């Protein structure tokens, strides 16, 4: 890997005697990691040879494995995992992940919230927001709204609203050079300062949305002081915030001039590059005008079709607001202001689709529900799993009555499918299908 001369000179000055080891680390392979999903009913019994981090595991997980497809595991680079670990929201909190794609931070935050509270997961890029939705649906969370907005437009709806905001800010990406060498092509000596101006713009909007006594977690995947410690100083100078100390574990080191913050260097930390700072907000704000909430918009026929399906197939209590978009039915979490003017990528939990005179449950609902929340469930083997994800129908017991069943593999849901005369029809989404070969 060939690093820019300006980059080398900058970090020779910044790191001094540690610079040679730092530069040598760029010739090593990137480090992979993964987390497990506590929202899933059946957990994984890991081989004792799998190397553990203090909070998760090192190694790679196949995107075609049962564990990945059912959402039991989520692949995430070790340094990136520190952001969610530092945030550690409590159940019941209202949380905003302001730059969320592809979903690693959001799913980590949802692990802490445990379907109690609210996560607004935002991604300004429409293309990347689709990937975010897919990853959140696989995770099986229910209390999450995915938006596709600028921070400024969100602030117009969520003033003084969130107990915690996480901004893993768009940055110069120096910490990803080893994992994504193409990022080197975008780097220049002026790039970190340019990114810092964008970061301040986003943070101004974030502070408008932070409730009194709320917490802000700010992070980047770069080592540039312009985007890290200088942003920390800017926040301290302009807002009533104080730094919260981040314990330095697993090779993390103190930030430059701010011992409360944390840096991750690949020659010290087994992972890529990251910077994290945590703030407690002490400012007081004028009480905001109470905003109009959200209402159910189902017509009489839609209500009846949903009730017929839920009473006949579910033991799940839909706590939230039922809203239909086109023919798609969603369960919007309680406690949100009026979101009708926002661009929405996922309006809560996708329950299913209204067809002519019937309702069909969604793949997302089948991923989210546990065995005690459905009336009918069919467990398939791992061998049948690979047939099913390839689009094949499966033979099941002829004793099963016809109707909708939650499909389960290794104890976790894999969507819904219809059983008809001893055949499990295939409802695995066509866009997600793959062959095991």
Residue 28 counted as an annotated binding residue:
no
pLDDT at 349 exceeding the cut of 60: yes
Residue 99 counted as an annotated binding residue:
yes
Residue 101 counted as an annotated binding residue:
yes
pLDDT at 288 exceeding the cut of 60: no
Structural domains in the chain?
5-281 (3.40.50.150), 290-373 (no CATH), 376-437 (2.30.130.60)
pLDDT at 292 exceeding the cut of 90: no
**Are the C-beta atoms of 202 and 208 separated by less than 8 Å?**
no
Give me the pLDDT at residue 291, please: 61
pLDDT at 329 exceeding the cut of 60: yes
Q: State the pLDDT confidence band at 231, using cuts at 50, 70 and 90.
A: very high
Provide the whole-model pTM.
0.96
Each residue's pLDDT tens digit, 73-129: 999 999 999 999 999 999 999 999 999 999 999 999 999 999 999 999 999 999 999
pLDDT at 337 exceeding the cut of 90: yes
Q: State the pLDDT confidence band at 293, using cuts at 50, 70 and 90.
A: confident
Give me the pLDDT at residue 113, please: 97
List helix spans (H) across 213-299: 229-238
Each residue's pLDDT tens digit, 424-437: 999 999 999 999 75
* % residues pLDDT > 90 (the chain): 92
Mean of the pLDDT values across residues 188-214?
A: 97
Residue 226 counted as an annotated binding residue:
no
Q: State the pLDDT confidence band at 284, using cuts at 50, 70 and 90.
A: confident
Q: State the pLDDT confidence band at 35, using cuts at 50, 70 and 90.
A: very high
417, two tokens: 């499918």
**Are the C-beta atoms of 216 and 236 separated by less than 8 Å?**
no
Each residue's pLDDT tens digit, 174-190: 999 999 999 999 999 99
pLDDT at 287 exceeding the cut of 80: no
Residue 104 counted as an annotated binding residue:
yes
Task: Dihedral sign for Cα 339, 341, 345, 351, please.
Answer: positive
How far apart are the C-alpha atoms of 88 and 36, rounded to whole Å? 15
Q: State the pLDDT confidence band at 286, using cuts at 50, 70 and 90.
A: low
Residue 100 counted as an annotated binding residue:
yes
pLDDT at 289 exceeding the cut of 60: no
pLDDT at 6 exceeding the cut of 80: yes
Q: State the pLDDT confidence band at 199, using cuts at 50, 70 and 90.
A: very high
Mean of the pLDDT values across residues 240-264?
A: 97
State the catalytic residue, choosing from 133, 151, 221, 367. 221
φ and ψ of 112, to 5 deg? -80, -40
Give the list of residues 6+ apart from residue 426 with CB closer than 8 angstroms, or none: 388, 391, 392, 393, 394, 417
Burial category of 5 from C-beta neighbours within 10 Å (exposed 0-12, middle 13-18, buried 19 and up): exposed
CA nearest to 361, candidates 345, 342, 372, 377: 377
pLDDT at 290 exceeding the cut of 80: no
Give me the pLDDT at residue 13, please: 97
Residue 103 counted as an annotated binding residue:
yes
Under DSSP, is residue 213 helix (H, G, I), strand (E, B) or coil?
A: strand
DSSP 17-83: GGHHHHHHGGGSPPPPEEEE-TTSSS-----TTSPBPSSSEES---TTSHHHHTTSEEE--HHHHHH
Residue 383 counted as an annotated binding residue:
no
How far apart are the C-alpha atoms of 118 and 350, rounded to whole Å? 16
DSSP 68-129: HHTTSEEE--HHHHHHHHHH-PPTT-EEEESS-TTSHHHHHHHHHHTTSSEEEEE-S-HHHH
pLDDT at 419 exceeding the cut of 60: yes
Q: What is the mean pLDDT of the chain?
A: 95
Is 221 tagged catalytic? yes
């Amino acid at each position: 890997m060939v690093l820019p001369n300006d980059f080398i000179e900058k970090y020779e000055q910044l790191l001094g005697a540690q610079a040679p080891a730092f530069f040598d680390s760029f010739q090593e392979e990137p480090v992979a990691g993964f987390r497990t999903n506590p929202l899933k009913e059946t957990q994984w019994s890991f081989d004792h040879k799998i190397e553990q981090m203090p909070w998760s595991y090192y190694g790679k997980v196949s995107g075609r494995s049962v564990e990945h497809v059912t959402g039991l595991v989520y692949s995430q680079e070790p340094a990136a995992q520190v952001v969610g670990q530092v945030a550690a929201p409590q159940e019941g909190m209202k949380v905003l992940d302001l730059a969320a794609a592809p979903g690693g931070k959001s799913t980590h935050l949802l692990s802490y919230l445990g379907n109690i509270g609210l996560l607004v997961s935002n991604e300004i890029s429409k293309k990347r927001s689709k990937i975010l939705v897919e990853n959140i649906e696989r995770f099986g969370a229910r209390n999450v709204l995915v938006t596709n907005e600028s921070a400024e437009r969100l602030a117009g709806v969520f003033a003084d609203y969130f107990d915690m905001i996480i901004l893993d800010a768009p940055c110069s990406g120096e910490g990803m050079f080893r994992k994504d060498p193409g990022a080197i092509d975008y780097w220049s000596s002026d790039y970190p300062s340019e990114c810092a101006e964008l970061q301040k713009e986003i943070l101004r909007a974030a502070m408008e949305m932070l409730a009194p006594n709320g917490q802000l977690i700010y992070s980047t995947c770069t080592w540039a002081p312009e985007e890290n410690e200088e942003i920390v100083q800017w926040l301290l100078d302009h807002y009533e915030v104080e730094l919260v100390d981040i314990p330095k574990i697993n090779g993390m080191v103190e930030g430059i001039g701010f011992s409360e913050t944390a840096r991750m260097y690949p020659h010290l930390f087994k992972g890529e590059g990251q910077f994290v700072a945590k703030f407690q907000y002490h400012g007081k704000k004028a009480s905001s005008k109470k905003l109009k909430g959200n209402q159910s918009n189902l017509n009489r026929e839609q209500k009846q079709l949903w009730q017929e399906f839920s009473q006949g197939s579910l033991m799940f209590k839909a706590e939230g607001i039922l809203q239909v978009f086109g023919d798609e039915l969603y369960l919007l979490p309680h406690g949100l202001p009026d979101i009708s003017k926002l661009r929405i990528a996922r309006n809560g939990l996708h329950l299913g689709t209204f067809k002519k005179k019937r309702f069909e449950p969604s793949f997302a609902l089948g991923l989210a529900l546990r065995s005690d929340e459905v009336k009918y469930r069919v467990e398939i083997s791992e061998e049948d799993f690979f047939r099913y994800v390839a689009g094949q129908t499966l033979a099941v017991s002829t004793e099963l009555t016809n109707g909708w069943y939650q499909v389960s593999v290794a104890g976790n849901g894999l969507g819904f499918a219809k059983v008809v005369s001893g055949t499990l029809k295939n409802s695995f989404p066509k866009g997600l299908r793959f062959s095991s070969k």
